[in-house]
Structure 1
């Protein structure tokens, strides 16, 4: 039967574990050394992961090189040249070519825009604009308070300022300002998609 003593393997382990606990200075040194080791391992693991990530990212092409080398075919990628894309420029038409329906839509929309007697709710005001406005722009107009619209009447006809194949920009004068209105050709006819102050 073996004789157990404090000089055996367990005693050696016990001495190692008890050494830091014998004084606060030893404990502090132990914590600093262990912290440094952990930090070093983590930083090495991070850079090793990045290196391995680089190898993984390039692994597909490296594998291709190995396979193509064995078959005698070069694996150098050939750059693909795309044809140049022509610059998109809208085709402008003479102002005299503005469709009458587009100008009429701009005028009628402006008349509905200035129509906001006292007590008109936002829903009522937007309902008057709805037949002449695109669905996307109606969402913007729904957030407008009609009491903030400064004009109260249209004072002249709509005049085209820019004309394209499927859009017309027109100005409409009111009693306080001039509106710049963009009318676009949709499946449902000419509709206003934007306005601003001229």
Structure 2
């Protein structure tokens, strides 16, 4: 074990870190001084960053109009373009693409084609050419024996049309299906259905 002497570098360090611990008043004073140093450092860093931002802004192209004397300086315009609305615009029902309606009719025809005892995989394979890959994962869990319809009884009719999707109703002998057809890289495919 090293011998502690009252002289030397380690003794000087020991005096420094023990000084705040000798009384509660010294400890409080040390905490306040430490806090002041941290706040000062943060303020200095913020000031340096602020001056960098103003130098970059002053190097902007000279196309901006100078502010009138005495007028408050307006904030610089942002360089980001405006964001387009995220909701698709609805098109008239007459604008429904005929390939989308055809896919909805053919998909519904495959959906109602489930003779008694047909394996679920064979039924899903019949839907595969008209269905998105993502939705096939959902259809794998459907038991075709639970589908009440056995035939399509009418023509598909568009109920909502957007640029890349069409909502189509197709009547069957048990219920009317509401089929969502979307435009993919492989053409129009069914991405979902529900009871109308």
- TM bin (shorter chain): 0.5 to 0.7
Give, in angstroms, the shift of residue 85 of structure 1: 3.7
CA distance in 2, matches of 1:67, 1:106: 63
Give, in angstroms, the shift of residue 184 of structure 1: 0.8
CA distance in 2, matches of 1:63, 1:128: 69
1:94-173 alignment runs, 5 A limit: 94-173=92-171
CA distance in 1, matches of 2:149, 2:40: 68
**Corresponding residue of 1:43:** none
**Corresponding residue of 2:187:** 189
* Among 54, 64, 83, the residue aligned to 2:45: 64
Give CA-to-partner distance per residue, 1:22-41, whole Å, 9 cap, x none.
xxxxxxxxxxxxxxxxxxxx
**SS in structure 2 at match of 1:93:** coil
5+ long unaligned stretches in structure 1: 1-47
**SS in structure 2 at match of 1:92:** coil
- Shift in CA distance, 137/67, structure 1 to aligned 2, threshold 3 Å: closer
Structure with the higher fraction of residues in helix conformation = 1
Give, in angstroms, the shift of residue 89 of structure 1: 2.6
Structure whose CA Rg is larger: 1
Q: TM-score, normalization: structure 1? A: 0.61
Give CA-to-partner distance per residue, 1:69-120, whole Å, 9 cap, x none.
xxxx599xxx997776443231211101111111010000001001110111
Give, in angstroms, the shift of residue 171 of structure 1: 0.3
**Corresponding residue of 1:17:** none
Number of residue pairs matched by the alignment: 141
CA distance in 2, matches of 1:194, 1:121: 21
RMSD: 3.2
Give CA-to-partner distance per residue, 1:54-77, whole Å, 9 cap, x none.
x6xx89835615868xxxx599xx
**SS in structure 1 at match of 2:160:** strand
Aligned structure 1 segments of 4 or more residues deviating by more than 2 angstroms: 58-63, 65-68, 79-89
Q: Is the 8 A contact 1:107 1:172 kept in 2?
A: yes
